[in-house]
Chain A
Amino acid sequence: MKRFFDAELETFRSQLIRMGETAIEQVRAAIRALVESDAALARHVIAADDQLDQLEVMIDDEAIRYMNLRAPIASDLRLVIVGMKASHDLERVGDEATSIAKRAIKLGAEPPLKPYIDIPRMATIALEMLRDALDCFLQDDEAKAIAVCKRDVEVDNINRQLYRELTSFMVEKPDTISRAIELMFISKSLERIADHATNIAEEMIYLSKGTDVRHTEELKKTGKPVA
């Protein structure tokens, strides 16, 4: 039976989706700004971070209001709680994208250290993870969410490998240190973005199944959920 305030929940969902789309776009734009040395695009990304911050406040505010005045139960309650948590993760993703953009401006002023291969590769995986996590929200696909959690390992590996590469660069040619450090930070940001995507995927599992799968080793290593 339709309740007269069901529309509020629909609005909530669409705000969440919108925030997710925005975050993904921010990361994509930031990486492009880096790869193409596009300072104007990077500044656009930094300015647009405001939107994500505002969306987080809106979503939290609406979640609290809904819990207060509508007393949600079961899946409605999980939706509201997951919304609050996911909005936090997405806001952090936005912050990471901003950080990447700032460093892209710095790096754009100097010649590139090496061709950008690993970073775009990490970015692609991280963005796919984010996209898949958000899709779970739309489609209730537990398998996809688990796959996201599994892929985090890939990003971690590339990050570690990049660190080793950059460290050896810095040792061999000290004048590359400042650029290498920026790249290491960017790599770290992407690794964190992948972690946030994993968080969102775990939250989606909670939303659809009611099971809290965070911090369970089994999930990370074997990809099977703990009942």
Chain B
Amino acid sequence: MTARASFAPSPRQQAWRRFTNRVMAVVLLACALTVMAPLFLVLYYLVREGATSLDWSFFTQLPKPTGEPGGGMANAIAGTLTLLAMAAAIGVPFGIMGGVYLAEYGSERANDWIRFTADVLNGVPSIVWGMVVYALLVVPFKTFSAYAGGVALGLMMVPLVMRTTEEVLVLVPQGYREAALALGIARWRIIVVIVMRTALKGIVTGVLVALARVAGETAPLLFTALGNNFWSHRLSEPIAALPLQIFSYAISPYDDWHRQAWAGALVLMALILIVNVTVRVLSRERRFT
């Protein structure tokens, strides 16, 4: 008997191995499909229930008074976009600059604390954010407002953008910073023109992901923006938003409103899908490694 023969599995062992391989492959495939199933179910449901309600009037008309059929969510869509713009105005600059500080400046220990704080804030329930902004911006001014809603969403964005910005900046190889320093370029210029430009796609991706996340938040808006059945003419007034509108329609007793809620949910989902696809396209755009 040669040494080679003693290491080779017997035919019975080989058959058992093949069988086990196949079984596990099937099991794993099933698990993967199970994980993906909810997404497809949600999309299917949304499309089935909401697609029929998506007509021109949905996008252009205000909600009709209670009980009347018809109407649309034009103000909610506009409101969501307005709130996102305000959130971005707060979340983007502070988040990015915070990320830059963490990646480029600061001491090891202080930065650890800052990161810890940011991670905790990322986990704070969104309703708590709403309550905080309610206490700070709604109660003193005695009015719900778009400002408050924008601030609440913006504050939620800050730690998120800060962490993602820091992560992509840290990925920029140290070699570029050194090379730029060796040319006698001032530090802040290096960070802006070289480091951030190199990481730009990552930063934009981080901002878009954060926007998509806060776009769907309902709880903080409950105490701050409140919602509005009409157009808001000033930002110091309550403003409509898609999640709020979907919420109030879904718990109402009217079928018509239920139908519109599905449509609103579908629009919201579409918005988020568009953002994610954009993120994907941006990430893939690499002409050279």
Q: Do chains A and B touch in the complex (CB under 8 A)?
A: no
Residues of A near any B CB (own CB < 8 A) = none
Residues of B near any A CB (own CB < 8 A) = none
